[in-house]
Amino acid sequence: MTEVNSGMQVAVRYLQSADALIGKSLGWMKQQCAGDKGVSSEKLDAHQMASFDLAWCAAEATAARFAADYAGKVAAAGATGDGPCLEERMALVFCAEALQNIHNRFWARPQCFGVNAGELAAFASSEMAVFCQTQLDARNLEALGRQVAALEGDSGAYMLGDDAMMMQDAFRKLATNVVMPLAEEIHREDRIIPQEILEPLTEMGCFGLSIPERFGGIQSDDHEDNMGMIVVTEELSRGSLGAAGSLITRPEILSRALLKGGTEAQRQKWLPQVAMGDPLCAIAVTEPDTGSDVAAMRLKATRCDGGWILDGVKTWCTMAGKAGVLLVLARSNPDRSLGHKGLSMFLVEKDSYDGHDFEYRQAQGGVLTGRAISTIGYRGMHSYELFFDNIFVPDENLVGGPEGEGKGFYFTMAGFAGGRIQTAARAIGVMQAAFERAVSYAGERKAFGKPIGDYQLTLVKLARMATLLTVSRQFTYAVGRLMDQGSGQMEASMVKLFTCRTAEWLTREALQIHGGMGYAEESPVSRYFLDARVLSIFEGAEETLALKVIARALIDAA
């Protein structure tokens, strides 16, 4: 047994202690929040701070376990030689950082977590403190930073299968040769995504990644392939989040929703079209003043002869102008006490528009207008506020047909599960682009007579950036494999929470390494920084995801 492997065993043992502490706190929270029918939402809201921290503790502990597993696989592949390989060193550093973060959250307010001083002391042993201090020592991080800087933007083995590696190579070339040369112009001029990007993506089957072959997509008919979608999204997001990396999200959500609840006729009609990118699609779920609270949707769907009439407002509907079909969640039952059980999902067809504003008029008299929302980043797709005025939707476009009425929330959740893991992949792509620029610039920029990349502080920054990037990537890959096996829904929420916040930090550090040039629009890192900020907001805002999805599920299961 090598010293490094012994170190990983020690790290895993401490992570098990962290899991036990988290589990105890979750059990205590369940007791505090018990209601007549399980956990009371109102009582749980009185513990939001602890719930939020517990969600983060669980996410970081899970990421650390996957990092340790990843390091073990690299070691088993024979890449370690006689000493610690890069992947093992990063895994150990991350485990130490995760343990330190978990300790700090509990230590700051133990009474909020239902733990006493003795239980906290048993977790935060002197042995664990030595482990964390050794791994997080500046000299260790400096040495890791030198190792990382020498790789010129790489940060460890990907450990992908042959098919995923082929897809990675093809879409990396497309991102580098087609997307990157257009990315800055699209961002600065707030342009809609041009055909120069859309056409090759369509030819390569980008829009059919989540659609089975029997419906014209490229996914196997007998099993899911989240890994292909993740790798493609990562590479395109490296080129540009707004101009390429997010193009797959909307067809991903729509196709999963139809596969979950659509009729066979709806699948046969729409999935082949979506796979070809004709029409492009958009998802209209969010409404003003409701945000991620899907159950509070108010846009009305009123039954009429031959179909439904939609009236109301949606917001943050990305790609709504260019899209030819909108997947719309609406309240089909006026009884608001039903909450999410009163929602249905509709396919609204419209013309395609390139501008920042549009007005679509139906022959029946309905009017759909859209206004693009000005944003600091994530440009290229345009996110719209939509106004539905007497919009007619035929019965055949009620997702699931008559049996689908009132089930729109569940179809939406089926789509969003894929959207969360894909958002994690988008975060990784943005981080990779920022990291590459940071390593390169650190070797070029000089301060006080030598490159800033020679200074300890910069090397520590690069070490932590590489570590968090690699852990985020392997966390996402691991969850993708779980989802391919039919599980991993909770982990998909955790990895979205973790990677999106990490992307904000990493792009900030990349910009900081660039100094004043990082703040200039002519530098791509300024775009990465602005784009990364949206990741913790869409596909489930960080707070809602932590409180209402992760913490709630963990407490329910405690």
Q: Select from 410, 438, 453 the last residue of a domain.
A: 410
φ and ψ at residue 361, rounded to 5 degrees:
-110, 130
Q: Select from 410, 444, 477 the last residue of a domain.
A: 410
Does any domain span residue 41?
yes
Report how far residue 104's alpha carbon sits from residue 19's, in angstroms, rounded to the nearest whole number.
Answer: 15
- At what angle are helices 408-444 and 226-239 packed, to 10 degrees? 50
Report how far residue 461's alpha carbon sits from residue 468's, in angstroms, rounded to the nearest whole number.
Answer: 11
- How many CB atoms sit inside 10 A of residue 363's CB? 6
pTM of the model: 0.92
> Among 400, 417, 404, which residue's Cα sits nearest to residue 270?
400
Report DSSP state, residue 549.
I
Residue 5 pLDDT exceeds 80: no
pLDDT computed for residue 2 by the predictor: 38
Mean pLDDT of 223-247: 91
Could you tell me the two tokens for 210?
A: 């989540």
pLDDT in tens, 332-371: 998 888 888 899 999 999 999 998 999 999 998 999 999 9
Residue 383 pLDDT exceeds 60: yes
pLDDT computed for residue 489 by the predictor: 87
Does any domain span residue 16?
yes
pLDDT in tens, 248-307: 889 989 999 999 999 999 999 999 999 999 999 999 999 987 765 666 788 999 999 999
Report how far residue 287's alpha carbon sits from residue 228's, in angstroms, rounded to the nearest whole number.
Answer: 32
CATH code, 40 = 1.20.140.10
- At what angle are helices 456-484 and 86-108 packed, to 10 degrees? 90
Report DSSP state, residue 539.
S
pLDDT computed for residue 336 by the predictor: 80
Could you tell me the two tokens for 197?
A: 């990007």
- To which residue do tokens 């399980």 refer? 38
- Contact at 8 Å (CB) between 465 and 506? yes
Residue 1: pLDDT band with limits 50, 70, 90: very low
Mean pLDDT of 196-212: 92
Report how far residue 197's alpha carbon sits from residue 179's, in angstroms, rounded to the nearest whole number.
Answer: 6
Could you tell me the two tokens for 416?
A: 């969003």
How does 234-270 read in b/e, with b if 16+ C-beta sit within 10 Å?
Answer: bbbbbbbbbbbbbbbbbbbbbbbbbbbbbbeebbebb
Helices (H) and strands (E) counted in the chain, each on its own, are 21, 12
Mean pLDDT of 391-396: 97
Complete DSSP assignment for 288-345: TTTTT-GGG---EEEEETTEEEEEEEEEEEETTTT-SEEEEEEE-S--GGGGGGGEEE
pLDDT in tens, 97-108: 999 999 999 999
Give me the amino acid identity at 262: G
Percent of the chain with pLDDT over 70: 97
Secondary structure class of 123 (helix, strand, coil): helix
Q: Select from 410, 428, 462 the last residue of a domain.
A: 410
Percent of the chain with pLDDT over 90: 78
List beta partners, residue 388: 312, 368
Mean pLDDT of 396-404: 96
Residue 152: pLDDT band with limits 50, 70, 90: confident
The catalytic site residues sit at 539
Does any domain span residue 432?
no
CATH code, 385 = 2.40.110.10
Mean pLDDT of 386-406: 96
Does any domain span residue 335?
yes
Residues 6+ apart with CB under 8 A from 556: 30, 38, 39
pLDDT computed for residue 3 by the predictor: 42
pLDDT computed for residue 291 by the predictor: 61
Give me the amino acid identity at 486: G
Give me the amino acid identity at 55: A
Q: Can you give the length of the chain in residues?
A: 558
pLDDT in tens, 518-536: 999 889 999 999 999 999 9
Residue 540: pLDDT band with limits 50, 70, 90: confident
Report DSSP state, residue 523.
S
Report DSSP state, residue 350.
-
Residue 4 pLDDT exceeds 50: no
- Contact at 8 Å (CB) between 422 and 252? yes
Does any domain span residue 82?
yes
Task: Give the count of alpha carbons within 13 A of 249, CB side only.
Answer: 31
Domain that holds residue 60: 3-136
- Pairing status of strand 383-394 against strand 446-447: unpaired
Domain count, the chain: 2
Residue 223: pLDDT band with limits 50, 70, 90: confident
For residue 265, the Cα-to-chain-centroid distance in whole angstroms is: 31
pLDDT computed for residue 522 by the predictor: 84
Mean pLDDT of 429-444: 96
Residue 232 pLDDT exceeds 70: yes
Mean pLDDT taken over the chain:
92
Does any domain span residue 384?
yes
Does any domain span residue 288?
yes
Residues 6+ apart with CB under 8 A from 20: 123
Report how far residue 273's alpha carbon sits from residue 64's, in angstroms, rounded to the nearest whole number.
Answer: 41
- To which residue do tokens 């995801």 refer? 545
Could you tell me the two tokens for 314?
A: 């949606």
Report how far residue 33's alpha carbon sits from residue 62's, in angstroms, rounded to the nearest whole number.
Answer: 24
Report DSSP state, residue 268.
H
Could you tell me the two tokens for 118?
A: 């003795």
Report how far residue 27's alpha carbon sits from residue 113's, in angstroms, rounded to the nearest whole number.
Answer: 10
Does any domain span residue 368?
yes
Cis bond upstream, residue 279 (ω within 30): yes
pLDDT computed for residue 148 by the predictor: 94
Give me the amino acid identity at 438: A
Q: Find the angle CA(262)-CA(297)-CA(385) to the nearest 5 degrees.
A: 95
- Contact at 8 Å (CB) between 328 and 299? yes
Report how far residue 501's alpha carbon sits from residue 512's, in angstroms, rounded to the nearest whole number.
Answer: 17
The H-assigned helical ranges of 109-194 are 110-113, 117-123, 126-135, 138-149, 162-174, 180-189
Residue 83: pLDDT band with limits 50, 70, 90: low
